[in-house]
Structure 1
Amino acid sequence: MILHLSTFHLEGGAGVAATRLHRALLYSGEDSYMLIPEVQNPEQGIIPLANTKWKSRINFFRFVSERLQFLPFEKDKSVRFAFSPAAAGADISTHPLVIEADIIHLHWINFGFLSMDSLEKLFSLGKPIVWTLHDMWAFTGGCHYSRGCENYLIHCQYCPYLAQPDEYDISFSQFEQKAAIYKTAKMALVSPSNWLNDLTKKAKLTKNLPALSIPNCLDTEIFKPKSKTEIRKVLNLPIDKNLILFAGANTQDPRKGFDYFKEAIRISSALSENIEVLIFGKSNPDSFASFPVPVHYLGKITETEQMVNVYNAADMIIVPSLEDNLPNTIMEAMACGTPAVGFATGGIPEMIDHQETGYVAKLKSTNALSEGIEWIIRNNINGEISAKARKKVEDCYAENVVTGQYSKLYKSLLEK
């Protein structure tokens, strides 16, 4: 039995990716379960740790405790959720599903779900561990993305996320604790992107652990092309405009590069009057007031069908992330035949074949983003780029492709 552990179910990129893998494994015939703190939408094999109101409160207290323990150390509010001390979490080592599991498959487990002590108790069980890394946290002293800091290559200390970084700060102590517990783990590390896999193999904490790259998966029967004209009519969007999409869990997160998107649109709108913008995700609508073109803000979208419709309504998606692993939004859009433009960072260049399935722009260059927008507009008139984008997803990220790779990994670990 495969037991997935994830803080989130259908929220955030990592939670969505974990759930999609669980569903795909079930469909392929694997005995798969997923243990998470709480379930908002019950489904097969998804088991909540909190099955009473009291346990739900305890989950919340763990989250608050974990955040409060970082508060005295944080540099400023902008890094509040960018560093996880993993000081509070649940002990699930005696949970029936954990005891029954043949493979324990970790995903994103921070924000009070599992602490460093929780991980140590899980590893001490001696069960094979697969850990899908959705960011850099597993091999750093606490940050999820290092923002250019390379201390994790030797030993984390003097952490730039901290108000008073020093030689023996909390990044140093977490690094030491990880080094100690990793020695006891029978663990394979999986990175959805080759970029993150390369970092994993270079990082001091993980360079001697088995590591490989397996991408996230997507149901290509759900995320698929539809009639753009009909969808725009349904959503009350203009039929004769080039609609450019920005999608993100939080547009205010500096790492998502929203300011670069805005400036690229300003440059492109000076070249073409036929551009309008679609935005969905958590955001402040007031931030769109100074936009150079009309903005259609669709709010936070949680329904999959609505998400598919928005991808199909757009002519392209822009993903100006400054650091990212393997963004679900690119995969989802391309599966719907919507080409992507993104910065050359993280796993993005692996997803977008430059001037084939989309456009890869020089990092932090708004001019390059604008050039990508113009290139898509000029070259996708007959839908050739859209077809190639869809084919890329079918070949690389379809459920049967990804589950086959994971099943092979599970089998090898059990044989050992």
Structure 2
Amino acid sequence: MKVLHVSALDMGGAATAAIRLHKGLLKAGIDSAFLTLRNCNRNIPNKYIYEPRPEEISLLKVLKKTLRVRLGMESPHSFYDAQDLAIKGEPTGAGFSFPETLEDITLHPAYKSAHLIHLHWVAGWLDYPSFFAKNTKPVVWTLHDLNPFSGGLHYALGTSITEMQMGHLIDNPQDRLQQAHNRNLTVKQQSLQDFRSLAVVSPSVWLQKQSAESLLFSRYENHHIPNGLDTELFKPYDRSVVRGLLGLADKKTLLFIADAIDSPLKGFRFFRDALLHVQNMCDYQLLVVGLDKSNALAGFNNVHHMGYVQDERLMAMIYNAADAFVLPSLMDNFPNTMLESIACGTPVIAFPTGGIPEAIRHGENGLICEKADAANLGSLLEAFYRGQWQFDREHIAEQAAKTYEDRTITTAYRKVYHAVMATV
């Protein structure tokens, strides 16, 4: 069996999950390759970069385009400009992706040599109509957000579309966003109507349920397989030694991580406000990982900003240096950072978002707020520092290793691969 993982990005949370599975399959003796648009992460074996073929331009094409525009049959704007105009001025929250692109993954040699195609985060790259019309290979699709089965949104937060509407057509659409949603979902439905050999995998039960009830994926097998990680790397280390290596003081340490610290989805503003509850009661320091382009950390005198960290060994040290990892995400599926933290034995203090409560058991390996707001988070931080909960780091790490160790996850995916290949 030769598996091709298709991921638009080679960095970030979705890409990290895909890369870890890819490497796990290679360790298990499975012929696995990785196709991506990016070339940022060079630590990926059997990696291929997709390079689109330049479109041939002829005088005849130019004349046809000009005539269609003058007759009002076609927009004068480019393909992607026309898509942007369809939702111009509408709030799109964490982003909006259309199901049509100018790319054709099936032309790449890595696609042609594969026996099974494993899609990951492919928004803005996968062209639904052409891919599912041309593709003859079985497909496994791991969901990292709601976009694959939605009308374009990745998450509903901050938009005119509710989370419950995302996987379904909206009756009487009221604005351009809802109209584009219905139009795109219809395109996806038509593209998949004759395709049978597809299995859908969700890292969280939360996302699996939404996928299984969606218009697009309800007729396919929907599996739940959590993200995995290398528990020989992410494990407990001596905290005092790690703090010394990182140049940190030996005092209470809170950790916050986000690709972009000011991302509205990651909830840093709630964390900032919640710190008001503890700033006068204890001597603490903040350990922050991520880009701070908007200077969100200004005003903190007790912050150690590590910047963007890609090295996993350094990340394992960072988790071990913290007393708790604070995860106030407003929208999330099943974040790798959460698993990395508990694999290192560091408890997680989080909002009750997406699949997070599935992994974080209140009082055992972390704390879950009753509601996603600064007041609830501040109360938990205060109680945490007063010693209301005592966490056993070794026990937290042992339980995480049993559940999320990469070999366990790889075995689960191999079962799905064999099942979907039998449908061809």
Q: Return the TM-score normalized by structure 2.
A: 0.86
Superposed, 1:144-293 pairs within 5 Å as 144-147=154-157, 148-156=162-170, 164-165=176-177, 169-185=179-195, 186-239=197-250, 241-270=251-280, 272-284=281-293, 286-291=295-300
Change (3 A) 1:178 1:322: same
* CA deviations over 1:199-223 (Å, ceiling 9, x no partner): 1112222222210100111011111
RMSD after superposition: 2.6
How far apart, CA to CA, are the structure 2 residues paired with 1:85 and 1:372?
Answer: 40
Q: Distance in 1 between matches of 2:43 and 2:321?
A: 30
Q: Which residue does 2:309 correspond to in 1? A: 301
Query: 2:357 is matched by which residue type in structure 1?
Result: P
Q: Given the alignment of the two structures, is residue 133 of structure 1 paired with residue 147 of structure 2, yes or no? A: no
Q: Deviations over 1:77-97 (max 9, x none)?
A: 973751111432421213222
Unmatched runs of 5 consecutive residues or more in structure 1: 56-64
Helix, strand or coil at the partner of 1:93: helix
The reply on whether 1:411 has 2:412 as its aligned counterpart is no
Offset at 1:165? 3.8
Contact persistence 2:236–2:320 (CA under 8 A): yes
Could you tell me how far 1:172 is from its partner in structure 2? 1.3
Match of 2:126 among 108, 111, 114: 114
8 Å contact kept, 1:157–1:171: no
Distance 1:157 1:5, change over 3 A: farther
Aligned-pair identity (%):
31
The Cα of 1:364 is off from its aligned counterpart by 1.7
Q: Distance in 2 between matches of 1:35 and 1:46?
A: 6
Give the one of 363, 370, 386 matched to 1:362: 370
Task: Report if aligned partners of 1:322, 1:363 keep a CA contact under 8 Å in 2.
Answer: no
Q: 1:313 to 1:351 in 2, by over 3 A?
A: same
Could you tell me whether the CA contact under 8 Å between 1:333 and 1:339 is conserved in 2? yes
Structure 2 residue runs without a partner (length 5+): 56-77
SS of the residue corresponding to residue 398 of structure 2 reads helix
CA distance in 2, matches of 1:298, 1:118: 43
* Alignment partners' CA distance in 1, 2:98 and 2:52: 26
**In 2, are the aligned partners of 1:66 and 1:85 still within 8 Å (CA)?**
no
Tell me what 1:60 maps to: none
In structure 2, distance between residues paired with 1:235 and 1:87: 46
Structure 1 249/128 Cα, relative in aligned 2: closer, same or farther at 3 Å?
same
Q: Within the alignment, does 1:327 sit opposite 2:332 as a pair?
A: no
Distance in 1, Cα, partners of 2:327 & 2:79? 31
Find the residue that maps to 1:286 and give its secondary structure: coil
- Scaled by the length of structure 1, the TM-score of the pair is 0.87
Match of 2:101 in 1: 88
Please give the alpha-carbon distance, in whole angstroms, between the structure 1 residues aligned to 2:79 and 2:43.
Answer: 26
Counterpart of 1:8?
Answer: 9
How has the CA–CA distance of structure 1 residues 77 and 12 changed in structure 2, closer, same or farther, with 3 Å as cutoff? Answer: farther
Do the aligned residues in 1 keep the contact of 2:261 with 2:296 (CA within 8 Å)? no
* Distance in 2 of aligned mates of 1:133 and 1:269: 39
Residues 329, 158 of structure 1: alpha-carbon distance in 2 compared, 3 angstrom cutoff: farther
- C-alpha spacing 1:44/1:165, structure 2 compared with 1 (3 Å): closer
Do the aligned partners of 2:150 and 2:185 also contact (CA within 8 Å) in 1?
A: yes
Q: CA deviation at 1:28?
A: 1.2
Quote the Cα distance in structure 2 between the aligned partners of 1:174 and 1:51. Answer: 23
The answer to which structure, 1 or 2, has the higher relative contact order (CA under 8 A, 6+ apart) is 2
Cα distance change of structure 1 residues 375 and 389 upon mapping to structure 2, 3 Å threshold: farther
> Once the two structures are superposed, what CA deviation does each residue of 1:17-41 show, in whole Å capped at 9, x if it has no partner?
1001100111111111111123331
Structure 1 residues 186-195 or 196-205, which shifts more?
Answer: 196-205
Amino acid at match of 1:6: S
User: Using a 3 Å threshold, how does the CA distance of structure 1 residues 89 and 51 change in structure 2: closer, same or farther?
Assistant: closer
* Number of aligned positions between the proteins: 394
Instruction: Give 1:193's aligned amino acid.
Output: S
Paired position in structure 1 for 2:50? 49
Q: Give 1:285 shift.
A: 6.4
Equivalent position SS for 2:201 = strand
Q: Given residue 361 of structure 1, which amino acid in structure 2 is its aligned partner?
A: C
Question: Deviation at 1:75?
Answer: 5.7
Counterpart CA distance in 2 for 1:68 and 1:338 is: 46
How far residue 103 of structure 1 moved from its aligned partner, in angstroms, is 1.2
Deviation of 1:375 (Å)? 4.3
Larger Rg: 2
